[in-house]
Structure 1
Amino acid sequence: MLKVDSHQHFWIFDPLRDKWITHDMENIRRDFLPEDLKPILQDNDISGCIAVQADQSEQETKFLLDLAEYNDYVLGVVGWVDLRAGNLRERLEYYKTFSKLKGFRHIVQAEGPGYMVDPVFLRGIRTLTDYGFAYDILVRSEQISEASKLVELNPDQRFVLDHIGKPLIKKGEIRDWEKEIRQFASYDNVSCKLSGLVTEADIEHWKYSEILPYMEIVLNAFGANRVMFGSDWPVCKLAAEYGAICDVISSFLEPLSSSEKQFIWGQTALEFYRLELN
């Protein structure tokens, strides 16, 4: 079965740039590069991965594209570009020359209300659509309603929601999130990543039984053909190793049909990001 990790990161740790990696995250305050990930993917029968930006700079995009060029199993890159810039079209003309650049992301979870429906940002999203790039939506659960407006205003853009919208699993908050996620999923141009789950739970004492209801809601709302597996490695290491993340997904998928399993493990990512297998 084809397995693709739709969401992981690489970085050369810089304490100034990577201030979000605080001292209580000691086990990820170091470099994480393709040579670290390759044996992990092999051990878990993962064919390839999508490298997603963690820093908001075009230097980050170049860094990831350089790694992808020399590592065949990095099937695609979700980079960063300033969607509000006056020269965006020029930058996208340039990035269109890189076959492994599949989309872009902005860390909207750190932005205030109204960011996703600001006319300048919306103009940037529409320019992405013109160039055929995907867009990863990274938001907190309370921002999903605004993300729905973004999606509604851009019906021709491919969107994917990272980390199932970051519900507060640790606090067991599910009712409001479920309402918002079902509304979001009602738009047919959106997909959702089963990623970042264990780090939204209690990172030291998370339980599969606590995560399961959230995954069930996502599957029911989106359908298997719009859901994709993502490890969120190495951030996942704050709560679990890569193999444990795969075990969570495997347990969840056990009752499903083989075609549903194939979509979630790899086919959805393959189609959404328009990946070319080596």
Structure 2
Amino acid sequence: MTIDAHQHFWRYEPLKHSWIDDSIAVIRKDFLPSDLKKVFVENDIDGCVAIQADQTLQETEFLVQLAKANEFIKGIVGWVDMRDKGVDAVLEKYSDQKEIKGFRHIVQGEADPNFLLRHDFIRGISHLEKYGYTYDILVFPHQLGATLEFVKKFPDQRFVIDHLAKPYIKDGFFDGWAVLMKEIAKYENVYCKLSGMITEADFSSWTPDQIDPYMDLVLGAFGSDRLMYGSDWPVCLVAGNYTRVKQVVVNFIAKLSTIERQKIMGSNAIKFYNLR
């Protein structure tokens, strides 16, 4: 199966989705399963993992209901407040909802570069493993030092780094990001998504040649067993269409064996998220 391991749904609300600023105004509208299903048919995608875009429990419930109603949504990554002293009870409550595969916090939006290492956050993350939940790490390159220390604390917790940690492709910055990504990749419980790359490049003038070195680095560091394809739809629409996004990855991995390509395009996501 071909699985898109990273995409979003929302009913657009200006206040809730204030992060959609004027530079990406093209996505200021609703994006729902009926929209994505058509795109998937056109691009031979069998299913997806829907990722939270709002930090509320209502967002988690919204995604659960969409997954229940749409078979192609194979699982969801929701949000809970990991800093809440009562987070374990919340996780336990959710544990019978098989649509929920893991959780994510929008750490890239936190002013503290060491947010991941806060005592209350660490305490919350420590409860995930017993429920079999994954955790998506969404950070910028300047937060990778904390990310390295963070993953060291949880050798048995399944982590995945979203969007290659959003390297500064537009500016051509590479070396500092690369050093830390290679260090993080030494921890075999950490995966990485080949997603969100064209929106870190110049929206209007990016080329695959600009993106390939970043994919090459993570392929060498994580290997084909720990990479997953993700579109970041509909955010990707600010810099291209779904077909172009998929083609960037498909063309890059064309040099790999059939089994390696199948892992990156689907079976790794099925294994990591324990998809139905």
The bucket for the TM-score relative to the shorter chain is over 0.9
Shift of 1:212: 0.4
SS of corresponding position for 1:127: coil
* Aligned twin of 1:34: 33
SS of corresponding position for 2:225: helix
Aligned residues: 275
Q: Deviations over 1:224-248 (max 9, x none)?
A: 0100000000000010100101111
* Aligned twin of 2:228: 228
Shift of 1:113: 2.2
* Aligned twin of 1:165: 165
Regions of 4+ moved over 3 Å: none
Q: Deviations over 1:8-33 (max 9, x none)?
A: 00000000111000123221000000
Matched, 1:217 2:209: no
Kindly provide the amino acid, as one letter, of the partner of residue 3 in structure 1: T
Matched, 1:246 2:262: no
Shift of 1:43: 0.9
* Aligned twin of 1:75: 74
Alpha-carbon contact 1:8-1:230 (below 8 Å) kept: yes
* Aligned twin of 1:104: 103
Shift of 1:144: 1.1
Kindly provide the amino acid, as one letter, of the partner of residue 10 in structure 1: F
Shift of 1:274: 0.5
* Aligned twin of 1:204: 204
Alpha-carbon contact 2:226-2:268 (below 8 Å) kept: yes
Q: Deviations over 1:243-270 (max 9, x none)?
A: 1011111110111100110110001100
Distance 2:173 2:72 in 1: 37
Q: List alignment gaps of at least 5 residues for structure 1.
A: none
Distance 1:152 1:24 in 2: 37
**Identity level (%):** 48
* Aligned twin of 2:183: 183
Q: Deviations over 1:114-134 (max 9, x none)?
A: 211111111111111121100
Alpha-carbon contact 1:21-1:28 (below 8 Å) kept: yes
Shift of 1:145: 1.5
Alpha-carbon contact 1:145-1:184 (below 8 Å) kept: no
Q: Deviations over 1:142-191 (max 9, x none)?
A: 11121111100011110000000110000000111110100010101100
* Aligned twin of 2:56: 57
Alpha-carbon contact 2:114-2:143 (below 8 Å) kept: no
1:11-26 → structure 2 map (5 Å cutoff): 11-26=10-25
* Aligned twin of 1:194: 194
RMSD of the alignment, in Å?
0.7
Q: TM-score, normalised by structure 2?
A: 0.98
125-134 vs 2-11, which moves further: 125-134
Q: TM-score, normalised by structure 1?
A: 0.98
Kindly provide the amino acid, as one letter, of the partner of residue 89 in structure 1: D
